[in-house]
Every structure is written in structure tokens, then in C-alpha cells.
Structure 1
Amino acid sequence: MIDTPKPSEETSETNLQLNSESADINIGTLQDLCENNINFFSSDTSENGQRLNNSFKLINEAVNKMRPVLIDLRCVAVKYTFHDVSANGYYSYLAVINNVVLQTIQLNKKVCLRRSNILFRKSAYTKEVEAYASLMQSLFTFGLHLNTFSAWHKNNDLHFIDIPDEILAKVKEINQYPFYGHNLGFQFCESLRPVLRFVCLSMVIFSEAFYSQGSILTKAKNSVTTTAKYLMDPEERAKRMINIFHYTNLDFLKSFWFLAESELMKQVPIMVGQSVAVSKVIQIPPQALTLHVDNNDVEIPIPHSHIGKRPVQVRLISHEVRQGMIGEANSKTKFLSPSRGLMIHCHGGGFCAQSSQSHECYLRQWAKDLQIPILSIDYSLTPQAPYPRAVEEVVYAYSWALQNSHLLGTTAERVVFTGDSAGGNLLLGLIQRCIVLNIPLPAGILAIYSPTWITSYISPSRLLSLMDPLIPLGFAIRIIKAYVLPSKVNGNQINQLANGEYSSDTESFGEISQSDLVELQAHKSPVSDASESITCGSLSSPTVELKDINKQDLNQIDIVSESNQNTGRSTTSVDLLDKYILESDTETDETKVAVLNEQNNTQGHETSTQSRLVSVVTSLRNRIGNWVTSSHTGTNLSLESNQPFDILEQVKYHAPVDPITSPFFASDDILTKFPVVKLLTTNMDPFLDDNILFGKKLKSLGKNVTLDVLESLPHGFLNFSLISKESEAGSKLCVQRINEILDLDSLPPLQVQS
């Protein structure tokens, strides 16, 4: 049993005192440097000299006004910690201020050292200093209102309860533009700032194509023009980003986030990440499933909500081929004995985007480090499949894995749940369903920056999303509404799907290109007619695995329509499951194409580097063509509106209090039956306070719970583990926590059968 460290009553106060002293010293240093620069530029009569002088004055004034606010917030922060972990939204704001103060100190030092140089470019430094002056002013306003909100906590709850509208409306006074302009990503570690700038630049450029009007030529011309504009002018980029955050819809979010599923992005884990022996997608048929538990039969509900009975898609990832693994009977690789552990994984993506494949960037490394198979569940996504569909599928997939663990190369003696963001939320819901249904529980769960309180209430850490480029407040609210409060429009669409009423512009398989198949199979899309046809076809006929895709020309694979074939199923479980293997991407993770007739699989040919590049470029060309010719004409949404963001309208919704979506509200009787719980998040995560509250509640019930809070990393840092050393370190800590839960070394040795 892993115990949390013994608490110290003085720990939080001591840390607060040390941090406060250090922060005060930094603020004093900044003010001295500002005074020095103010005195120097006060006699400079040039335009840029006066602008620099005024900017340094503004920074100094903002810091002076900020001092009493910081003192108040330090006193509030210490009241809402978990155990001896000094973390919550208040501490996060204090950390943001300290980071900005340090950055502004460095800027002041540069100006002090270079201002007398004949080559000193005042115009270049003017923009940078003005950006920091605006940032300081916005952060002061943010802290001022955060201090006001702090009076609206109840019963040691970090959320602001029953806060009056006129007070909440003060959030609109915060100028968000400085958060997304020149200083974009200022609160995060330095290695991630260029990455975040690239992501945000891609988003604003994508929005121009998504919402623009006119012909293809006009859209292409506008795209080139706006790209140059946003590259050269960070403030213009900031304006566009704010409008996107405030007014865009879920269709845009899904479309943009699914760029991570593009052919080029799929190659990243292969080219720079860890190679694995097994990475294949399996379709689990929606059939009756019964578990035998403690001499009792447990009937597992078949997922049916919103879109009817559909196969559940999962991805099996393993660093080594293990005995019994599905689809590996003919593998020439040496088999290892079955693993004694198994990880059940659910990916993040706000319940509406991403897939197991877009999370392979870290799952592959985990498979090597942990030396256990990983089963990642590609649950159906909102808004086409809102709550409780994803939970139903996760329950079903886990139960299937327990019953068929031998097909996954494991004895499943120790199972660990691991999920990030929305995936962690789903797995916390899965544990509750397991308790109710009497399904065997895992050894424990690692929930990574996962929300545990899905309601309209805001908290200090959730307010930080006002400056977060990856999960801004507007995005978060829309995602929550789509998941727990599906619209009537989506409801009509869902009913049509459930009743089998499909509509598509594609009349037959003959009109579906290879790149279309790649895109449709790359992520589950419950409303995709073509995708559903492919799935149904693969369910009724053998599937040929793409064993070594880099030695096989995709153009030699025939796609055959199965519309007129019989749908007989094999009676043995192994034969049945072999038919549901859609993909084997062990070496290259090349695009998955469902081969619907084994006789049509021609002999593999050597694929040159040139042909592979052509395949990738062709797919990207088709994808861009789809964007440019999109039905989004720009008339559905005005992103150039100067209308202020009305936070009151955004948060005025009443999400039902459901313990499955909000585990914090689970009954004590349920929570006391939870296995080991490890929570891992960051001090810049909007859901930090959720984890603090959930951890405190579990701890009060005597549960084995730990909390890790990493510094200066964003929500979703695992997806950057290949390009950021800090993110990689966070990923390694996740592996350490998973190993602590599994504790495979404590298992008794296997008895060798004679």
C-alpha cells in the first residue's frame, strides 16, 4: 500500500513565507530597474523614448498597486490546500505574477545594458516593453477581481458559490488581449512557448479558411495574406484568437483539433518517438457479454445511448509481442510470456476530439517503460454521442478486456486505469459503474489533469483559463454544454443515426478515396456514413493486417464493397476477433485501410520513400481541399464582432449534478470503495482546483490518494512530451506513479506447470 506523505501543519505556511519573501525581493528588484530606466528615458524627447518612459512608469505603477492584492491572496491561498501540497488557483495566480516579474526583470536588464549602445533599436524594445506594461495592468485587474471573488467560498469549497451577477460581471473588465499577443504562453515553461505560438498561429490561420467566403481562389489568396499578417503582428493574432475563443462553435473546435489526426502528424511518433512491436485497432462487436465474478454472473450492458448499438473501437499497444496476442499468431517475432499487468487508457480531447492514435506520442514510450500491454479506448465523441454514451462504451470495453485478457497478451492480475483530461473523468466514472455492477476493480487509477466537477461554477484555477491558449474559458464552457447538455439540433441528428436514417453525398464505396478511408478510420465519427459502412463491412468479412506497411504499397490494396455479401460470423472467439482487427501499424503506423476481402490482398511490394511522401502529400492536399471547399461560408458566425464577451450568459446553465460526470459528488459509500487514486496535474491547469477538492474528499474518507502538481506546464502537456524536456519529465513521473500502482514485483512468482 502506498501512503501519502505525512502532513506537516507548518509546511504550507512555511512554503508560503519563503515564496512570499522571494517574490517580494523580485518585485523590489523590478521596481529599482524600472526607476533606473524611467530616469534614463525621461530626457529622451524622441517618440520611442517617451513611449519607453511611459511604459516603464506603467509597469512600476501596476506593481505598486499589486502589492496589497498579493498579500491578501497569499492569506487566502493557504486555506485551500490539499494535505501538504501548496497548490490551488490562488497559488497559481501568485506563480504567474512571479514568472512575469522575472521576465520583466530580464527585459529591464537588457534595456539597461544596451540603451547607451549606438546600435540600440528603441523601436524594437518599445513594442516589447509596451506589451509587458499591458500585461502587468491586465494581471493587476485579474488579481483585484480574484481577491473580490475570494469572499464567495462556502464550506472550504474552492468554487465560487452563489456569487452575485454584478460581481461576476467584473470579469469583463479584464483585458485579455495582452495574454495572447506578444507574450503568448508567458505563464508556461520556456521550451513550450514557441510550440504554443505555432499552435495558436495555426488556429487563427485555420479559422480564416474555415469561415471565409468566396471562391477557392479567393480563399487561397486570403489565406496567404492573413498568414503574413498574423506572423508579423502578434496583436492582430491576439484579436483573432479572442474572437475565436468567444464566438466560435464546436464544429470549428473539432475540425481544428482533428488536425492532429492528419497523415503528417501521425508520422511524428514513428519518426521521433519510441517504436513498438504491436499497435493495432480492434473493433469489439456489440454482443451480449457476461462476466463470472465471485460465483455470480454479471451482465454487462451493451452501449446503446443516442446512436444505437455500435462496435467499440480500442487500440492495443505493446512494446513486445506476447503470447496469445490477437492477430499475432503468424508473427515471426519471438513471443514473450503474457504480462501480469494491463493498462486501460482513455484519451483526452474534451469528450469531442482526438483519439488513441493522437496520444501515441507518449503511449509508445509508456509501453516500453512499463513493459505491459496498453488498451486505449476510442470512445464515441460528442456532440453526436453525448453523455452517457462514452461511459457505456468504456464500461463495455473494460469488461471485454477482463474476459479476453489472454488475447491482449496479459493475465491482467494487476490492472491500472490511466486517463488524461476527459479520459480521466471517464475512468473515474467507470470505477463507480464497476462498484455498482460488481465488476472487478483495478489496482488503482492515475487521473491526469482531469475535471472532477462538471458544473457551471467557476473557481480560481478555472478563471486562469481567461489567459490559457489551449483551454480558454469559452472553449471549456462549450465543451461541457455539448457533453452534458446536448442541443435539440444534435438530438435530432442523433435520433436519425439511432434509427438508421443516414444521409451522405457518397453513393458507393467506389467514390471513397483511399485518403477518405484513412481519415474516416483515423478517428471514430459516430455521424459519418462512410465510416459506418467501413466498420460494418469489416465486421462481416476477414480483415488483412498490414504487417509491415513500409514494405507494402498501399496502392496495391483493393477496396471492395461488401454491400451485397453475407454477414455470417465465426463461432470461435479468436476467429471472430481476428475479423475486427482494422489496423496493424507496428513499425510505421501508416494509415489504416480496412481490407474487406482477403482474396483481394495482393503481394506486398517495396515502397520507396518517394511513394510514401506522395501518399502523405496527396492526403494533405485532399484534406486542405475539403477545408477550402467547405460549406462554412462565414455567414454562420461573425468572428470580427466587437461585442464584449458576456461571461454571465456563458455560465448561466444548469448542468445536472451527476456523480458519473462529476465524481466529487459521488456518495461516501461509493468513494470508500475506490481503489488507490493518484491525481496528477499542473499549477496552470484550469482543473487544478477540481483535483484539490476531490483529493481532499477522498483523504477525509481515509482513502489512499496522492496528488502531484507540476509547475509551469499546460493542460495537455503529455501531447508535447516529444518536444519539451519539462513535458517529458512529467510523462516520466506518470510512468513512476503507474508503476507504484501496479507494483508487479509484489506478485507471487508464477508456478511453472510441469
Structure 2
Amino acid sequence: MLQEYAVIPHSVFVSVDKGRLSDMDHKEVFAALQTVCSEVILALNGSVSNSSNVDATDRLKGVMKQIQEHGHAVEPLITGFTTVYHHYDLDAQTPGNGYRTLVKVVQSCVIHIIQKARYIASNCTGAFFRMDHNVVEIEAYCSALCQLRALLYLAQIILNDNTHGQLYSQDEGGLRERFVQEYISMHKACFYGRCLGFQFSPSLRPFLQTVVISMVSFGENYKKQQTGIGMAALSFFTSGKYVVDPELRGKEFERITQNLDMQFWKTFWNVTESGLFSSLTRIASSVVQVNVTLTVPAEGLSLPLASDPNLSVAVNPPVAHWGPGPVNVRLISHTLRQGQDSAELLALSRPEGPQLSLPGSFNRQTAPLSPCLVIHFHGGGFVAQTSKSHENYLKSWSKDLNVPILSVDYSLAPEAPFPRALEECFYAYCWAIKNCHLLGSTAERVCLVGDSAGGNLCITVSMRAISHGVRIPDGIVAAYPATLLTSDASPSRLLTLIDPLLPLSVLYKCINAYAGAGCQSVQPAQQLDTLVALGQDTVKMLSNFAQGASNWLQTLIEQKAPSSSSSSSSSSTTSSNGPSPSKSNSVEKPKEVQDYPENFEPLRSRCLVDIQIPCTPIMRNPFVSPLLAPDNLLKGLPPVHIVASALDALLDDSVMFAKKLRNMNQPVTLTVVEDLPHGFLSLVQFSKETQDAADMCVRKIREVFQQEELPADQRQPGLV
């Protein structure tokens, strides 16, 4: 798809096919960068005598020279990666890995600079040209290019230290610690201010700005002695300053991502569970006849042995940490089917709200049992969200596929660390197979589907089915799955230094929580009600703000930049944009990191924090990190279909896992979509690109249901 980039009106557009940049395109891009920087400097030299802002003019000329210097240094790095990055793809038909992604992100940043610089060169002598505003914006992108240059140097280390085709560093120390030290000390605020989301699809940028503004507003008032409307008012009124001051927003977001605890992230992510937010998403989602939550009792199951259906195997209910307990699930079906209106199923249902459909409320003819069944495990980093957060696209999938979907609400960390979630998901899978007639299906074809943490659970549940000897699913569709829950560095994980949705500190918090590092498991008395956690008024205020802001936020940020804010941020940027920042604006570089050229130093942050690096042996448990599983645990997996994003920090998880399965002659496909962040399934209503990616997942599920039957001697026996 040919895409045009326009930062402001009347700019000179730079058109480029982001998804298919050839190995030669980067030379033209960097040549254009040098040319346009020279054009800006020449135009400014000719306009000095007429300029009313000599200081801003000098700053702009200085930053254009810095961009030229960064461009000269970055181009050979990009050339080096483009000559070898194809060796790290799954195959020639599936281009995608962290090295390609870094090249793509750098080129995207350079393209934004080129078009902005062309606008400046063409308009800097005009009477209505806003010099201060344009200086601040070009300085922000100069800072971003500087930091991306540092990431390329770090990626070089990974490339040089690893074996051929290996994306993850196998060094137990060294680079892992250096990577964390760089994350702690490197300046990241520029990626959350004016440059926020420059690498993603343009249609998603207003949404990302809304999320970041909502997050920093909520984070500023987090744990203050305010409740109800007081907290709501604080969050609402403080959000205004982050709308008009992108630099302040970036600094505050950097502070929040590194310093606030796991409870903050659980609370903020669970805003999507609020009644108002759910009501708004339901308006845009498909109408289904069955949407009911069920409580599966903690009772032992007996299932036929896959290798000999005349024998049976016992499956115990989940017991980890606090003993046997029920499992909550959600049944979604576009059409009311046989069994879904049974008294047996109704006895398991639990009311969730007046807007949900209960099977017993229908007085109409039921459709026959479907031969297919989807079992879904939601994402949320193992620590947040439920099936309710994901029901928007699940309802659409039930309609498109015409099959019932069972989504599992497994217990969340840190209260329920590994292996509680895996035990509950496996038990729910076995219960669904045995009781498929209650769910409106014969379960002749069963597909496990999950995103992120849920993708991990799809794989590990299948591994557990193999180890227990019970029937395995007919296929797995995993969207951007987490297959390596360790602190190993990879080129795609370098994106955690710039990603607004998956920063490294947050990723590590999720891993530590799931691994049970420093946590004590606590049996939840009842499912957390987000309205109680946040206060109903707060949730309503945040939700209203989030819905409305995406419509006008982009325009407001471009059109309004207060002089005081511009002056302050310009001064700060100027002091930190040089090759050698002053000591007052930087921290001493960790002694371990000596991998940058002598004349280069990335910008340093004042916001420092100690990050707890995941180091518990549980991380390397194959049922936590399936990428590390031995062949005998992976041999026999059903066909695995992975849908990943080229701009996801977990991309290399997908690539390496697909490679491992292919090397074992296991059936696997990998699809890499462009220009979307981690978690794109939760963003289907925000852009055509995310909807297309979700449709790709539907096609893969349909492939599982339509794949040819194996010969009788190779077929897994069905369960009665």
C-alpha cells in the first residue's frame, strides 16, 4: 500500500511504500536527507537579515547540521543491516525480523525529517511561518534520530555476538545487563512527545496520543488521597497541559513507565473493563445471541487417551498456590445453538449485567451443533484484562466464522503466578472438549486462539495436552505471542526503548509478576471490579475523554504550542541535542557500555530507576518460555499459525519460534503485518489496518477448520 506522510498542511509529501522498502531505497532516502538539510541552512542564511528571531534561526541551523551528522553516521549502519538481515527471516516469502524492523523505524524517522525540512525550506521566509514551533518539532526528531542511532550500535553488538540466524543473545550476562543499563539511562521522552507513534500507521497516532495523555494524567494523580469525582476532576483537568505541551507529556510518560508499580498498570489497563467503556465498544461490535459468563466447577475429569480411546486419563482441576478452584469462562455465539439453552449450561451461568444475553432468555428455534469450536485465551501480559476486554472482536469472529467461541478468564498475576493460569486454561480446554455439546459444538475441529500472553498459553496448553496424552487441538492461531519470557536481548526488543505500548520496564514487571518473583500468591476473594478500583466517576471521565480526544487531539497539538512551553522545551532540547550533553543534563555512562564511537553519545535521561531484571529459573521453564522447550515437548503440536507485527518488540519471539518448529518439520506459518503495534487486536475499531490484521487471524482460523483430514492411522481420536 502506497502511503503519504504529511506532518502539517502544505508540506511537500514524501511518498514511500513502507512495507516494501528495497535494499537500495535507503541510499536515496539518506541522500535526500543531506540535500534538504543543506537547503534549509541555505534558506535560513538568506533570511537572517529579515528574521525577528535570530536565536531560533541559529538553533534551527544548528539542529540541521546535527541531523546531517547523524545521517552520515547512520547510513553505513543501515547498509550493513540491509546486506544481512534476510538471513534472519523465516524464509524468503516471509520477510520479517528485528533487524529489518530497526531499519524500517530509522527510515520512517528520516522520512518525517525530510518532509518537515522541505516545508521549512519552502516557508521559512513567509510572514506566517512559526519559527519557534518548527524549531521545537525538528529538534524532537533530531533527538529521536540520535537515540535510534544508539539502538543501531546496540543491534550491531547482537549481530556480531550471535551465531548465524540467531536473533536472541545467548550471553547470560554482558549484553543483557548493558541493554538494561542503557534503557535506564537513555533519554526516551522524545519518543512520547511530538514524535509519538511516528513509526506506526497514521490512523493510529491520534489514538496513541489519547492513550498516553490519559495514562500520564491518571499516573500523576495515582495514589493521591482523592476518590470518586475528586480523582476524576484531577485526571481531567491535568490532562489539558499534556495536550498542549508534548515535551512535558513525554517526560511524564518516561517517569511513569519506569517508576509506577504493577498495581498501577493493572488498574489502568483494566479501564477497558468499565461498564461505560464496554457499552461504547458494544455499539460498534456485532450483535450475538449468546454472550454469557460461566463458572466451571472444580471437579476431576476423565478423558479418553488420545493414543487409545478405550483407555482414559484423569485431568485434575487447577490446584497451584491455593488449592482446587473453579474456572470462569465466557461463551459467545452469534447464533443460538443446541445445548446453549440447556438447563445444565444455565446452571453454570453467572449474571454479569443486563446487557448480556443469557441462553434461557431466548424463545426461538435453535441451530444445530457446529462441528467447530474456538477456545480463546486473552492477552494482557498475564496480569490484566479478561474476556470482556476482548469480546468486541470475538463477537465479530463468531459471526464471520459462524462458530461458538469459549474465552477463558484465567487468574492473573501477581496474585496468581505461574502455573495457575496454565492449569486453569488447560482444565478449561479439557472441560470444553468433554462438554462441547453444552457449548453448541461437536468439537470435531477445535482451534486454540490467543494474543500476546494468550498466544503463549495456546502453545503451552497444547504442550500440556501432549504430555497428558489427551487430544490436542486441530490448530493454533497465535497473534504476536510471547514465547520467550526471559531478559535476553534481541534486535526487536530494542524497540522497548521507544514503544509507548510495551516499554522494557513494563515488560519486565509483567514477566516478574508471572514468574512469581518477589510476590506471594493470594487467592482472590472475588474478581476485581475495575469500577471499585478506580471509582466510577473516574472511569467515566477517562472514558469520555478518551473517546472525544482522538477526534481533535492531532489538530490541537499541531496548531497550539504556548510560547512558554516552547521556550522551555527548546532550551532543554538544545542543551541535550549536541553530540556531548553537558554533565548537568546527563548521567555518567555505565562503565560496561563502551560500544559507541568515541565521538558519539546518546542523550541521557534525568529520570533514573532501578529495574528488577527477571532472573528466576522459572523463566526458562518450557511451559513459561516455549521457545526453550525441548523437541519432545513440541513434537506433535498441531499446525501453528502465527500473526505478528513488524513493529512489535516481541517480533523476534515469533520468528525464532516459527524457525524452531520448521526445523523440527512441524507445520507452522508466520504472517508479519506492517505498521501496527503490539496488541493490534484490541484496536480493531480504530483503523482499517488493524481490522485487516484481525481479518488475517480469521482466515488462519478458517484454515484450521478447513484443513484436510489426516489419514485414519495418523488422526487424533475424537472424544465422546
TM-score class, shorter: 0.7 to 0.9
Q: What is the deviation of 1:273?
A: 1.5
Structure 2 SS opposite 1:240 = helix
Which residue does 2:34 correspond to in 1? 31
Structure 2 SS opposite 1:399 = helix
Q: What is the deviation of 1:428?
A: 0.6
In structure 2, the CA distance between the partners of 1:211 and 1:708, relative to structure 1 (3 Å rule), is same
Q: Does 1:741 align with 2:704?
A: yes
CA distance in 1, matches of 2:505, 2:542: 31
Q: What is the deviation of 1:671?
A: 1.6
CA distance in 1, matches of 2:45, 2:610: 41
Structure 2 SS opposite 1:382 = coil
In structure 2, the CA distance between the partners of 1:747 and 1:297, relative to structure 1 (3 Å rule), is closer
CA distance in 2, matches of 1:259, 1:715: 18
- Superposed, 1:521-670 pairs within 5 Å as 620=540, 642-646=606-610, 650=613, 654-670=617-633
Which residue does 2:552 correspond to in 1? none
- Superposed, 1:239-258 pairs within 5 Å as 239-258=251-270
- Superposed, 1:703-742 pairs within 5 Å as 703-742=666-705
Q: What is the deviation of 1:310?
A: 1.9
CA distance in 1, matches of 2:707, 2:170: 44
Match of 1:93 among 70, 87, 102: 102
Q: Does 1:266 align with 2:278?
A: yes
Which residue does 2:85 correspond to in 1? 77
Structure 1 SS opposite 2:620 = coil
CA distance in 1, matches of 2:243, 2:228: 23
Which residue does 1:451 correspond to in 2? 482
Q: What is the deviation of 1:684?
A: 1.1
Q: Does 1:209 align with 2:213?
A: no
Which residue does 2:354 correspond to in 1? none
CA distance in 2, matches of 1:728, 1:711: 12
Q: Which amino acid aligns with 2:29?
A: N
Which residue does 1:320 correspond to in 2? 335
Q: What is the deviation of 1:174?
A: 3.5
Q: Which amino acid aligns with 2:96?
A: A
CA distance in 1, matches of 2:653, 2:463: 18
Q: What is the deviation of 1:244?
A: 1.3
RMSD of aligned Cα (Å):
2.9
Contact (CA 8 Å) 1:55, 1:130: kept in 2 or not? yes
In structure 2, the CA distance between the partners of 1:41 and 1:621, relative to structure 1 (3 Å rule), is closer
Contact (CA 8 Å) 1:457, 1:651: kept in 2 or not? no
- Superposed, 1:85-124 pairs within 5 Å as 85-124=94-133
Contact (CA 8 Å) 2:199, 2:675: kept in 1 or not? yes
Q: Which amino acid aligns with 1:90?
A: Y
Q: Which amino acid aligns with 1:413?
A: E
In structure 2, the CA distance between the partners of 1:31 and 1:213, relative to structure 1 (3 Å rule), is farther
Q: Does 1:420 align with 2:429?
A: no
Q: 1:599-636 CA distances to partner (integer Å, 9 max, x unpaired)?
A: xxxxxxxxxxxxxxxx9879848999xxxxxxxxxxxx
Which residue does 1:752 correspond to in 2? none
Q: Which deviates more from structure 2 when the two are superposed, residues 726-735 or residues 158-167?
A: 158-167
Q: What is the deviation of 1:117?
A: 2.6
Match of 1:300 among 299, 311, 315: 315
Q: Does 1:394 align with 2:425?
A: yes
Q: 1:109-156 CA distances to partner (integer Å, 9 max, x unpaired)?
A: 222332233222222212211111111111112212221332221464
Contact (CA 8 Å) 1:341, 1:411: kept in 2 or not? yes
Q: Which deviates more from structure 2 when the two are superposed, residues 464-473 or residues 120-129?
A: 120-129
Q: What is the deviation of 1:461?
A: 0.8
Which residue does 1:126 correspond to in 2? 135
Q: Which deviates more from structure 2 when the two are superposed, residues 280-289 or residues 101-110?
A: 101-110
Q: Which amino acid aligns with 1:672?
A: K
Structure 2 SS opposite 1:337 = coil
Q: What is the deviation of 1:42?
A: 2.6
Which residue does 1:570 correspond to in 2? none
- Superposed, 1:332-481 pairs within 5 Å as 332-481=363-512
Q: Which amino acid aligns with 2:689?
A: E
Q: Which amino acid aligns with 1:461?
A: S
In structure 2, the CA distance between the partners of 1:740 and 1:132, relative to structure 1 (3 Å rule), is same
CA distance in 2, matches of 1:221, 1:356: 30
Q: What is the deviation of 1:330?
A: 5.8
Q: What is the deviation of 1:78?
A: 2.6
Q: What is the TM-score normalised by the length of structure 2?
A: 0.79
CA distance in 1, matches of 2:271, 2:188: 26
Unaligned runs of 5+ in 1: 1-14, 503-516, 529-614, 625-640, 749-754
Which residue does 1:627 correspond to in 2? none
CA distance in 2, matches of 1:722, 1:71: 38
Q: Which deviates more from structure 2 when the two are superposed, residues 666-675 or residues 112-121?
A: 112-121
In structure 2, the CA distance between the partners of 1:463 and 1:618, relative to structure 1 (3 Å rule), is closer
In structure 2, the CA distance between the partners of 1:17 and 1:382, relative to structure 1 (3 Å rule), is closer
CA distance in 2, matches of 1:622, 1:116: 42
Structure 2 SS opposite 1:149 = helix
Contact (CA 8 Å) 1:405, 1:411: kept in 2 or not? yes
Q: What is the deviation of 1:27?
A: 1.7
CA distance in 2, matches of 1:742, 1:215: 50
Contact (CA 8 Å) 2:236, 2:541: kept in 1 or not? no
Structure 1 SS opposite 2:371 = strand
Which residue does 2:74 correspond to in 1? 66
Q: Which amino acid aligns with 1:178?
A: C
Contact (CA 8 Å) 2:333, 2:404: kept in 1 or not? yes
Q: Which deviates more from structure 2 when the two are superposed, residues 330-339 or residues 395-404?
A: 330-339
Which residue does 1:158 correspond to in 2? 167
Q: What is the deviation of 1:282?
A: 0.5
Contact (CA 8 Å) 2:398, 2:404: kept in 1 or not? yes
Q: What is the TM-score normalised by the length of structure 1?
A: 0.76
- Superposed, 1:475-490 pairs within 5 Å as 475-488=506-519, 490=520
Q: Which amino acid aligns with 1:254?
A: K
In structure 2, the CA distance between the partners of 1:66 and 1:623, relative to structure 1 (3 Å rule), is closer
Q: What is the deviation of 1:16?
A: 12
Q: How many residues align?
A: 605
CA distance in 2, matches of 1:459, 1:283: 40
Which residue does 2:59 correspond to in 1? 51
CA distance in 2, matches of 1:360, 1:329: 20
- Superposed, 1:135-150 pairs within 5 Å as 135-150=144-159
Q: 1:535-577 CA distances to partner (integer Å, 9 max, x unpaired)?
A: xxxxxxxxxxxxxxxxxxxxxxxxxxxxxxxxxxxxxxxxxxx
Contact (CA 8 Å) 1:31, 1:60: kept in 2 or not? yes
In structure 2, the CA distance between the partners of 1:700 and 1:216, relative to structure 1 (3 Å rule), is closer
Structure 2 SS opposite 1:267 = helix
In structure 2, the CA distance between the partners of 1:70 and 1:171, relative to structure 1 (3 Å rule), is farther
Unaligned runs of 5+ in 2: 1-17, 347-358, 545-604, 712-720
In structure 2, the CA distance between the partners of 1:686 and 1:645, relative to structure 1 (3 Å rule), is same
Percent of matched pairs sharing the same residue: 36
Contact (CA 8 Å) 2:63, 2:138: kept in 1 or not? yes
Q: What is the deviation of 1:34?
A: 1.3
In structure 2, the CA distance between the partners of 1:222 and 1:329, relative to structure 1 (3 Å rule), is closer
Structure 1 SS opposite 2:446 = strand
Which residue does 1:564 correspond to in 2? none
Contact (CA 8 Å) 2:167, 2:491: kept in 1 or not? yes
Match of 2:206 among 194, 203, 212: 194
CA distance in 2, matches of 1:623, 1:199: 10
Q: Which amino acid aligns with 2:136?
A: K
Which residue does 1:283 correspond to in 2? 295
